[in-house]
A and B are shown apart, each in its own frame.
Chain A
Amino acid sequence: MIRCRMSLLAALAVVAAPVILTAPALGDGIRIESLANARLALEDRDNQINPFDFGRNPAWLHNDYELQFLRFNGSLFETKGDLRREFDPHLINDFFIGVAGNKRLSDRQTVRGYIDYQRLLDREVYRNLEIDQYNDPFYLNDKTTGDFDYYGPRASIDWGFRLVENLWIGAGLDYNLSTGLKQVYTRPQIVHNYSGAILGLAWKPSERWAFGLGYRPVRDQNRTNFAKPDEGYDNVIQGYSGDAIYEVRAFSSYSIGEIEIGHYVDLQGFYMGDDLKAGLIVKGGFSETEVKYNASRQYPKGYWKEDLFDAQLRGRWTPAGMPLAVGFSARYLTNDGWGVRPDFSDVLLYDNPYAMYSAGLGLSYWISAVDLLLIGEYTAEQYDIEVWDNGANLYRKADQLSQTGRFAVEKNISNVYSFRAGYEYTDYPIDRWIKLPRNIDISRVTGGIGAFVNGWKVDLHVEYGLGTADYSDQERQRMGAAVWFTKYMN
């Protein structure tokens, strides 16, 4: 969904965004996606164990990628089905076209940019009046089921600069702007405006070691504007604080804004030996979201805070002289989300702490005789989630293991053509609110072709996914395709 890509930090807020609901992230290589996203043991220029590819530290951009390129891309994905949370759209149709480029400005600085224009159609959205009803416990509803059409650009830019020998600085900026309209009463206009910056520092004290530091401020604003409807009566909405406390608001025109401001710091350490490469990223920070009613004389109605700690380890061992790569990963993530009503800020309305422990192992083997690459990986994620909706006197708890297995194969012909296929199986995804239907299995089949044609690298990616539940006949399908046209300049 758009919100998972619109905000890097919003993505962190979702414990395990169900794979079937989530489009590939913008920065992900299309080759990796076609190989079922099996990235632990996959050697790829977009999947290196370094501060940029693993930690998006823009200071390392100059070291990361020596090739200059210009790329045009487009994609269309559609997700539909009843196996979803109550306020998720029944159907999501996501189309965008974009252009990306990487340019070395000199022998000490590099810039990379991306911009696209997106059209997102959310169909049959039940009551929800926000671009993301599940980003905090404060949400808006009316009593209709309707369609939303969103349009808008997204852009990002990274710049890396070598300050002195073995010391780099960098900066990055992400910006998304979209406007959506609900097609039926109450017809709100939703204006989404996200901006996030990254200030990075990278230091390489020796040939094998590198360290990085990043500071990431973010600002994510969603404003829901109501105007006089055509139906001949007022807009009547419900503003919820948790799932039980709500206010009824009736008006002809009104505006409700939600602004998240966050600050994150991450420390990065990398070992980059000949056979073994490993990186550790430790990230901490917090975000605060304030919900305010009315445009001029604003009334604070909700406050939501998340305290984040995230430690990620990833490594890859490629023994010399062997067509083998072994990848491994581990992660410890805690996110303590809590909310209050500003009028009663001394009592805790909502408490939603969770922890995730994850470990993964991957293997890739290249059969040189037939130029065939085989990849397999397994990741296990253990979630401990608690949801205290004190206003509703509700408590939910999940102590759940989510497992993902991936298998992929790539056949190269003369270093000109590549044929890719992959299969991904996820057992029991979960969301932080514990509102996703339980016991879901997701199967995803991916495929792709890469070819050099008249100096252009053309990559095509297709996929089909199906989510099913153990206890019902409900399903959710996802299918789509993406294409990249890349011109390498070097």
Chain B
Amino acid sequence: MKTRAVITALLILLGLAFSCGREKPTVPDGNNNIMLYAVDTSGVQGGWVGIEGATIRVSSSTSQYERVFETGPGGFARLDGLVAGTYMLQAELINMEENYTILGQKELSVLYDPQTDDTVFMDYKKASPLTMNEIYYCGCNYGRFYYYDQFIELYNSSADTLWLDGYIVCRTAQSDDVINIIGLETVDYALAYYVFAFPGESGVTRTVPLAPEEFLVLAGDATNHTAYGGALCVDLRDADWEFFNPLGSDYDAPGVPNLLPLSNYENDFQLNVGRTGVFIATGEEWEYVEHFDPSMNAMKEYIHVPLSTVVDGVEYSSNTTVTTRYLTLRVDAGLAGNGMAKYSATSVQRRFPGLDSNNSTFDFENTQPPSPGWQ
């Protein structure tokens, strides 16, 4: 009797050992099937109608996923087999001959939706004619930590000359703590750390022209960097403008006009070689503001730039996912530069000049070698 009781107790113990731990989910991942309806709301085709032949670009912000679908008759596209995650969908219809673009975007989070329907509304693109067409930030020589050949290439996609007098070029703040305290999605400004300005006054003077369908190269230092950093580096002697900070020991290339700093730091305009945000604004409004930085336990000076003045913005990151965004989704809903290695002499460039859906994941591709002034 005692033996039987002991054996029973041991079997119960074995059973308990077998049943511990987390419970297995009952529904499978990868079973999200979306019937997407792409609707043209521009009214050109007579009211709201589904667009056949629209390209549906799907990108995930929770894993490496990029796929392209096309809508069929009635404007429907079936997106099958999506794994659980957050996706950015972009429906686009680009007509190069007639020079119009109809775009629509949607962010979608799915977990287990075997059969769901959704709609993306498309309209004429209302983007600025001035865009950052190419950004080169990653550097070219790891051994020397050489990244001074950075540049930003602007492009005028309009039919008119643009005047950039007083425009500002900004690099965002990069402190996760500060940004999280502020909550970028809850405020109506972008938070800048480096701000450099073109000469003149926006909307008043006319000294900085950018002709239609022309590029404008803004160099960190307008010199031949192959002489200092090696063959992979970029020769920027032909740059149109140069960032120059007279407060520090910055190199000032002779004959190249300068963008000068508004911020009170001594640094040159430098882009992070792995991830940050860059934006341009008209420069009509901005203000100095101090924010508390918990990591430094001190107040730090930043510049608030109203979103209403922001012309274009790009956030980039080597990694697929980021925990804190440096630019509000209202300026850039995606990330450029995914998978780019530091010091690999690679830039991010728009798929074609002027394309601007405000989602860098879809707009940009990694390009090697960098191409300042041309595409």
Contacts and interface: CB of A to CB of B under 8 A. Distances in A.
Interface of A: 205, 213, 228-229, 231-236, 238, 241, 244-252, 263-267, 282-286, 288, 303, 305, 307-309, 336, 338, 340-341, 343-349, 351, 388, 390-393
20 contacts: A231-B142, A234-B274, A236-B318, A238-B64, A248-B338, A249-B319, A251-B274, A263-B20, A264-B17, A284-B15, A284-B18, A288-B21, A305-B24, A309-B18, A341-B29, A346-B27, A349-B29, A349-B30, A351-B24, A390-B29
Contacts of A392: 30
Given A267-B11, A267-B14, A388 B28 contact: yes
Contacts of B319: 247-251
Contacts of B11: 267
Given A250-B339, A305-B22, A347 B27 contact: yes
A286 B81 contact: no
A336 B24 CA distance: 10
B28 A347 contact: yes
Interface string B23-50: 0111111110000000000000000000
B24 A348 contact: yes
Given A233-B344, A349-B29, A247 B112 contact: no
Contacts, number: 139
Contact of B27 (A241, A288, A348): A348
B3 interface: yes
A374 B143 CA distance: 66
B225 interface: no
A338 B141 contact: no
Contacts of A236: 318, 339, 341
Contacts of B83: 244-245, 344, 349, 390-391
B287 to A, nearest CB: 33
B375 interface: no
Given A267-B11, A305-B22, 5 more contacts: A231-B142, A250-B340, A250-B342, A305-B24, A348-B25
Interface in B75-113: 81, 83-85, 111-112
Contacts of A282: 14
Contact of A247 (B84, B141, B320): B320
B10 interface: yes
A390 B81 CA distance: 9
Interface in B97-141: 111-112, 141
A233 B342 contact: yes
B289 to A, nearest CB: 28
A286 B14 contact: no
A205 B6 CA distance: 12
A50 B78 CA distance: 62
Given A232-B143, A347-B28, A263 B342 contact: no
Contacts of A228: 142
B108 to A, nearest CB: 14
A340 B28 contact: no
